[in-house]
Structure 1
Amino acid sequence: MTYLWINPVSEKMISAEALERMLEKHALTRVVCRENWGEIVLRKYRELLEHADGTFADARCPAAVSLVRSLQPEIRIADIEPILIHCARELAERPDLADARKIITTPCRILADMGNKLELKDTHFVPWNRFLASIGEPMEPAPDASPIPPGFFKDLPFPVVSKSGRPAIESYVTGNDWKNAKLIELLYCVQGCHRGDGVR
């Protein structure tokens, strides 16, 4: 049996009817996480910022993390894996999914590469567009608004600055204003992951 976990960006790129047809046609079983990893990751950031000094960068987007490391090594990167990776770890370790193939769709190539390097048991990460191409299914148009927009950390009781898009990130981290923030939310794609190379 093959289980399919669809990330929230990809989920918005296919109608419910088309998804059901695709699952049945290709003998795929959709699976969901039992844990609320979004809330758990948010709690991890809150705990980190409560007990640490200085400025941290959000680590959910590996492309943005790589950019910040190359431009401003003084900014510390939070040692907290992306939500998608937390989900994948749960699925790879769940006894009820043992000995079955797990496919994790991603909004971009770099996140798929990051996941595959973990070599989780029977688990393969693939960008949404490559997954559809591999099974011969067409892409539906990408949504105009991201289901994962900037603002994930807006309710934290700390100074949080949100930057999306390479030019905005470069401009911010090469200046001095970043020193006034406790956390910098970073998304490499402008306004969110719906502009990732795995969904466009």
Structure 2
Amino acid sequence: MNNYIWINPVVEQMYKNNLKQLINELNIKGYKVVKGSCQQKKVKNKFMSLCKKIDNHIILDTRCPAAVDYIKQNIELDGIHIPQIEPILIHAARELFDLYIKKDERATLTITTPCESLKELGKNIFKQEGKDRIFFKTWNEMCETFNIEKVEKCLESPIPLGFFKELGQNVLELSGKKEMIEGVTRVINNEVNARLIEMLLCKEGCNNGDGV
């Protein structure tokens, strides 16, 4: 049986000086580390296409499900469009599932996540679609289960605020609960002009997620 594992970019950044050692350790524990193609561009293009298609609504960033849930729970989002665009991590999981699970009936795939929110989203999506043998685990869970030495969080996110800058849209960049609430409220009250609202629940990015 082949047990494949995908290391998310936050964890790669955390272990950047000892990544080869980490990969070897995972191999010893029965996991083969796999990589897919870059999904960032695909997600960015989906938002670009949406901006061209919808011209009467402000568009909300959906890459961070925890941010979307938090805003929906605290603000009435009248006039703001929440698209059905999945996070980058889910796009990566879909590609790797097709590459490694469909062609091998005995294979498993573990997707590591930087937070509980992405873990739960991934589990729910693939369960609803009837796709098994793919598992979503936070990096903290992997370290605890397999006795992997956990290193300090990285200071900078591999995908920081500014993801949408090159789209040529009027983007409001927000991270952290307080900044998100204040920023989205100002947009709704027409105090700030924005075409697209970028949001990360963890201040400064996923490197501060609760799963790493």
Range of TM-score over shorter length: over 0.9
Q: Which moved more, 1:107-116 or 1:87-96?
A: 87-96
Aligned pairs for 1:30-179 (under 5 A) are 30-33=33-36, 35-53=37-55, 54-70=57-73, 71-74=75-78, 75-94=80-99, 95-96=102-103, 98-118=105-125, 119=127, 120-175=131-186, 176-177=189-190
Deviation, 1:107, is: 0.5
Deviation, 1:96, is: 4.4
How many Å separate the matches in 2 of 1:92 and 1:32? 11
Aligned pairs for 1:24-35 (under 5 A) are 24-33=27-36, 35=37
Q: 1:3-33 deviations in whole A, cap 9, x for unaligned?
A: 0001100111222233133123202101111
What's the secondary structure of 2:35's corresponding residue?
coil
TM-score (norm 1): 0.93
Residue equivalent to 1:2: 3
Q: 1:77-97 deviations in whole A, cap 9, x for unaligned?
A: 121000100111112222445
Q: Which moved more, 1:113-122 or 1:2-11?
A: 113-122
How many Å separate the matches in 2 of 1:181 and 1:98? 47
* Structure 1 unaligned residues grouped into runs of 5+: none
How many Å separate the matches in 1 of 2:94 and 2:81? 24
How many Å separate the matches in 2 of 1:48 and 1:179? 21
Q: 1:105-155 deviations in whole A, cap 9, x for unaligned?
A: 000001100000122331001111111111111201111111121111011
Residue equivalent to 1:180: 193
Cα pair distance change 1:152/1:44, threshold 3 Å: same
How many Å separate the matches in 2 of 1:36 and 1:51? 24
Q: Which moved more, 1:141-150 or 1:160-169?
A: 141-150
How many Å separate the matches in 1 of 2:23 and 2:38? 24
Q: Which moved more, 1:78-87 or 1:174-183?
A: 174-183
Aligned structure 1 segments of 4 or more residues deviating by more than 6 angstroms: none
Cα pair distance change 1:178/1:11, threshold 3 Å: farther
How many Å separate the matches in 1 of 2:68 and 2:104? 32
TM-score (norm 2): 0.88
AA aligned opposite 2:198: E
Cα pair distance change 1:114/1:62, threshold 3 Å: same
Size of the aligned set, in residue pairs, is 198
